Chains A and B, each alone.
Chain A
Amino acid sequence: MADHPIDAIMLENRAASFTRRSIKESAKKQGLRLALSMVDLTTLEGSDSPEKVRSLCRKAIRPWEGEIDTPLPSVAAVCVYPNLVPVAKEILDGTGVHIASVATGFPSGQFPIGVRLRDAAEAVAAGADEIDMVINRGAFLAGREAEVAEEIREVRSTVHPAHLKIILETGELGNYDAIRRASDLAMEAAASVGPIRDGEVFIKTSTGKISPAATMPSVLVMLEAIRDHWFATGVRIGMKPAGGIRQAKSALHQLAMVKETLGDAWLTPRLFRFGASSLANDLLRQLIRIEKGCYMAEHDFSEA
Chain B
Amino acid sequence: MTDAMSSKSVDIQSARAQESAWDYAPAPESTPVVIEDRYDLFINGQFQSPRSRRWFKTISPSTGEPLARIATANEADVDDAVSAARDALPGWSRLSGQERAKYLFRIARRIQERARELSVLETMDGGKPIKESRDIDIPLAARHFFYHAGWADKLRWAFAGADARPVGVCGQIIPWNFPLLMAAWKIAPALACGNTCVLKPAETTSLTALRLAEIFQEAGLPPGVVNIVTGAGKTGQHLAANQGIDKLAFTGSTDVGRAIAKVASVGDRNLTLELGGKSPHIIFADAALDQAIEGVVAGIWFNQGHVCCAGSRLFVEESIKDEVIRRLEHRMQSLRVGDPLDKNTDIGAINNPDQLEKIQAYVETGQSEGGRLHEMSDQSLPKKGYWHRPCFLTGIQPSHVIAREEIFGPVLAVMTFRTPEEAIKRANNTPYGLAAGVWTNKGARIFEMAKRLEAGVIWCNTYNQFDAASPFGGIKESGFGREGGRHGLRAYVRL
Contact = CB atoms under 8 A, between A and B. Distances in A.
Given A21-B344, A197-B6, A10 B27 contact: no
Contacts of A227: 330
A11 B291 contact: yes
A161 interface: yes
Contacts of B333: 263
A10 B462 CA distance: 7
Interface in A1-47: 3-7, 9-11, 13-14, 20-28, 30-31, 33-34, 37
Given A7-B288, A268-B13, A22 B27 contact: yes
B290 A6 contact: yes
Contacts of A22: 24, 27, 343-344
Contacts of B25: 23-28
A82 B272 CA distance: 73
A197 B334 CA distance: 25
B441 interface: yes
Contacts of A269: 13, 16
B19 interface: yes
A50 interface: no
B24 A270 contact: no
A138 interface: no
Nearest to B7: A161
A34 B13 contact: no
A34 B1 contact: no
Contact of A23 (B1, B13, B24): B24
A6 B18 CA distance: 34
A62 B330 CA distance: 38
Interface string A53-90: 00000000000000000000100100000000000000
B295 interface: yes
A3 B287 CA distance: 10
Given A5-B288, A10-B461, A157-B1, A264 B21 contact: yes
Contacts of A154: none
A6 B288 contact: yes
Contact of B5 (A73, A194, A231, A264): A194
B118 to A, nearest CB: 19
A129 interface: yes
Contacts of A264: 21-22
Contacts of B2: 194-195
A52 interface: no
B288 to A, nearest CB: 4
A161 B4 contact: yes
B21 A267 contact: yes
Interface in A182-210: 193-197, 199-200
Contact of A5 (B131, B287, B330): B287
A28 B344 CA distance: 14
B141 to A, nearest CB: 20
B11 A270 contact: yes
Contacts of A96: 12-13, 15-16
A76 B13 contact: yes
Contact of A162 (B10, B135, B330, B462): B10
Contacts of A261: 334
B294 A259 contact: no
A193 B16 contact: no
B344 to A, nearest CB: 6
Given A194-B1, A195-B2, A10 B291 contact: yes
Contacts, number: 119
Contacts of B462: 9-10
- Interface band, chain A: 35 or more
A98 B12 contact: yes
B232 interface: no
Nearest to A231: B326
Contacts of B10: 98, 129-130, 161-163
Contacts of A292: none
Interface in B18-43: 18-19, 21-25, 27
A260 interface: yes
B14 A270 contact: yes
A199 B11 contact: yes
Nearest to B5: A194
A255 interface: yes
Interface string B339-352: 00001100000000
B27 A24 contact: yes
Contacts of A256: 24
Contacts of B326: 231
Contacts of A160: 1, 4-5
Contacts of A34: 19, 22
A145 interface: no
B356 interface: no
Interface string A265-282: 001111000000000000
Nearest to A271: B13
A224 interface: yes
B289 interface: yes
Contacts of A9: 461-462
Contacts of A199: 11
Given A7-B461, A9-B462, A98-B10, A14 B294 contact: yes
A195 B19 CA distance: 28
B16 A37 contact: yes
Contacts of B23: 27
A161 B5 CA distance: 6
Contacts of B384: none
A264 B18 CA distance: 11
B357 interface: no
A5 B288 CA distance: 5
Contacts of B4: 160-161
Contact of B24 (A27, A130, A193): A27
Contacts of B19: 30, 33-34
A24 B23 CA distance: 10
Nearest to B287: A5
B72 to A, nearest CB: 39
A269 B135 CA distance: 34
B8 interface: yes
Interface of A: 3-7, 9-11, 13-14, 20-28, 30-31, 33-34, 37, 73, 76, 96, 98, 129-130, 157, 160-163, 193-197, 199-200, 224, 227, 231, 255-256, 259-261, 263-264, 267-270
Given A20-B131, A231-B330, A270-B13, 11 more contacts: A6-B290, A10-B294, A14-B290, A20-B343, A22-B27, A22-B343, A73-B16, A98-B10, A195-B5, A270-B11, A270-B14
Shortest 10 CB-CB contacts between residues of A and residues of B: A10-B291, A22-B27, A7-B288, A27-B25, A7-B291, A22-B343, A161-B8, A264-B21, A194-B2, A260-B334
18 contacts: A6-B290, A9-B461, A20-B343, A21-B344, A27-B24, A28-B25, A34-B22, A76-B13, A129-B10, A162-B10, A163-B10, A193-B1, A227-B330, A255-B22, A263-B333, A268-B13, A268-B18, A269-B16
